[in-house]
A and B are shown apart, each in its own frame.
Chain A
């Protein structure tokens, strides 16, 4: 590809991203905003009640003044538009208990959650695809049976329980890994030592969050590989005498990449939700911990704000994946599906 073509392609991809941002994020924001107001509406007691309760009670006049200040006495449609307008400007309201902007509280916690999700996704893909390859080698054989059993176990295991048991084994009994937190308590080393320390702290949480997703990717990879194996291009490669490892690594797995990455996008919401529980198990200062604090103080502005931000993040990650497909896969660019003859051409 020439430089000019690459630039044109990138520009095309960015237009696509911009268009998708508008058409896909707006409905999500509107939908979640609507749900949030509804939740606040059905809730026993509104923000004014909570504030008044925190202040040790208030008169009816005082409550009415607070309601007016928050705009709680306006009709639903007006409140909805006002909330939507504020949200689109990055204003998610003030925390009912801490009195500071919710958006700031959430942004401060996002990096930790993203770090955990990133580590976990890496584990899920490496171990999941690895297990899938193992299972597809001899379908029906004992390795396949073992992999299937492991997949079923991982599907059924509650992640928070796995995390607790892993703490007992690896932190308490064996003393290999820290049981929680993001950094060591003693003086924080710098550079590579710091990164290694961080990774050590994220190893168990990452694996805990990954275990369900490992099962998802293992099952998917196994299925795709068994399908692709019947394709003509694989038979041709075998006939030409290409080694099994070479066919797998350079021809079959690249063809499996698109559906696997599509699954990554589909699983993003589950990954976000799972991190809430895992952060609570390992005491990581991310969004999950913020949710727990908000739950304890019944801070609904904060809770609904987190719901909105996490939904938008899921959408943004999906749009970035979409852009990635567009840039790396000519089949997506031309709008064509994964037809077998196209798979065949790529195999050569």
Chain B
């Protein structure tokens, strides 16, 4: 798969699913970047009367929560937080997974056995419970949440990378590289990694989607960073008013769903693009 963007983007736009995904992604990005400015109100401000339903008051198009905070401001502010946590922790997971998978797969033998066991361990421990325990043990902060989610999200990438490395390390171009005296690190990074990169790129949007959901569930249980208003936290706090004002929980949930769907569709379309590329190449 070529990395030069314009042709890739053009081919991506040829897939209907990708068009929906990119449109949703644009919506989420616009909300994160322009939303706070458009709403023009701080998410924490007790700005109006409490428990206004969406559409009830023109000044608060999406209503207010039990403290009179503007839900539109909360949703817009939450978008940036969700995206940041999701993307950064997925990148950590991709890096960690690539490193563990590459080293295990390249060296094989005892190293591969050990790293494989560690990966197995992380796939056996319920990831969400592990994330909860990690966040609880670390001081409450944005970094703790990102680290916890990153630490539970890498095994899928590690497995993928390891399998590819196990195959590629026996291939002719790697043997040739070894013959002319390339070192291990050079072989791994300049020879094998480039051909493993496309599947990693396909997997990463899906990891972002899962990470955003994990963050939302942590927030729902009250484990969000204390100084940030996240979508999960909004749902957790809105639970108290579920019977009278379900929209307080309903709207952030729709936001989470839209964002996760955008990333999943992107991953799915990249996957199709790669499959189509493989067919053409054959």
Residues of chain A whose beta carbon lies under 8 Å from any beta carbon of chain B: 27-28, 31-32, 35, 39-40, 42-44, 152-153, 155-161, 164-165, 167-168, 172, 266, 269-270, 272-274, 276-277, 280, 291-292, 295, 298, 300, 303-304, 306-307, 310-311, 314-315, 318
A sample of 11 cross-chain residue pairs with beta-carbon separation below 8 angstroms, ordered by A number, consists of: A28-B125, A35-B125, A156-B257, A158-B216, A158-B235, A161-B216, A167-B242, A168-B243, A272-B129, A276-B126, A311-B125
Using A43-B137, A269-B126, A273-B126 as known contacts, say yes or no to A156 and B209 having CB atoms under 8 A apart: yes
The answer on a CB contact under 8 Å between B132 and A158 is: no
Proximity bits, B209-222, A CB within 8 Å = 1, else 0: 10001001100111
User: Chain B: interface residue count, which band?
Assistant: 35 or more
The answer on a CB contact under 8 Å between A310 and B246 is: no
The answer on a CB contact under 8 Å between A273 and B129 is: yes
Q: Once the chains are docked, how many angstroms separate the CA of A168 from the CA of B265?
A: 29
Using A161-B235, A269-B123 as known contacts, say yes or no to A156 and B261 having CB atoms under 8 A apart: yes
Using A167-B242, A295-B132 as known contacts, say yes or no to A28 and B264 having CB atoms under 8 A apart: no
Among all A-B residue pairs, the 9 with the closest Cβ atoms: A273-B128, A161-B253, A273-B126, A156-B261, A272-B126, A156-B260, A31-B121, A168-B246, A311-B125
Q: Once the chains are docked, how many angstroms separate the CA of A280 from the CA of B139?
A: 23
Q: Which residue of A lies closest to B132 (CB)?
A: A291
User: For B138, B209, B223, B253, which residue has the most chain A Cβ atoms within 10 angstroms?
Assistant: B253
Using A161-B256, A303-B133 as known contacts, say yes or no to A28 and B124 having CB atoms under 8 A apart: yes
Q: Is B226 an interface residue (CB 8 A)?
A: no
Pick from A35, A152, A153, A295: contact of B136, CB below 8 A.
Answer: A295
- Report B48 CB to chain A, min CB distance, Å: 24
- Report B104 CB to chain A, min CB distance, Å: 16
Using A167-B242, A292-B221 as known contacts, say yes or no to A310 and B125 having CB atoms under 8 A apart: yes
- Report B197 CB to chain A, min CB distance, Å: 25
Q: Once the chains are docked, how many angstroms separate the CA of A318 from the CA of B120?
A: 12
Q: Is B14 an interface residue (CB 8 A)?
A: no
Q: Is B249 an interface residue (CB 8 A)?
A: yes
Pick from B126, B249, B258: contact of A161, CB below 8 A.
Answer: B249
Residues of chain B whose beta carbon lies under 8 Å from any beta carbon of chain A: 117-118, 120-121, 123-130, 132-134, 136-139, 209, 213, 216-217, 220-223, 232, 235, 239, 242-243, 246, 249-250, 252-253, 256-258, 260-261, 264-265, 268
| Complex interface: chain B residues within 8 A of A156 (CB) | 209, 256-258, 260-261, 264
The answer on a CB contact under 8 Å between A295 and B257 is: no
| Complex interface: chain A residues within 8 A of B235 (CB) | 158, 160-161, 164
Q: Chain A binding site: helix, strand, loop or mixed by DSSP?
A: helix
Q: Once the chains are docked, how many angstroms separate the CA of A276 from the CA of B138?
A: 20
Pick from A43, A168, A269: contact of B127, CB below 8 A.
Answer: A269
Q: Which residue of B lies closest to A44 (CB)?
A: B139
The answer on a CB contact under 8 Å between B261 and A158 is: no
Q: Once the chains are docked, how many angstroms separate the CA of A280 from the CA of B242?
A: 14
Q: Which residue of A lies closest to B246 (CB)?
A: A168
Using A291-B129, A306-B129 as known contacts, say yes or no to A277 and B239 having CB atoms under 8 A apart: no
User: For B120, B121, B123, B127, which residue has the most chain A Cβ atoms within 10 angstroms?
Assistant: B121
| Complex interface: chain B residues within 8 A of A168 (CB) | 242-243, 246
Q: Once the chains are docked, how many angstroms separate the CA of A342 from the CA of B97?
A: 36
- Report A54 CB to chain B, min CB distance, Å: 17
Q: Once the chains are docked, how many angstroms separate the CA of A31 from the CA of B268?
A: 34
Other CB < 8 Å A-B pairs besides A277-B220, A295-B221, 13 of them?
A28-B125, A31-B118, A158-B256, A158-B257, A164-B246, A165-B249, A172-B243, A269-B123, A269-B127, A272-B129, A303-B133, A306-B129, A314-B126
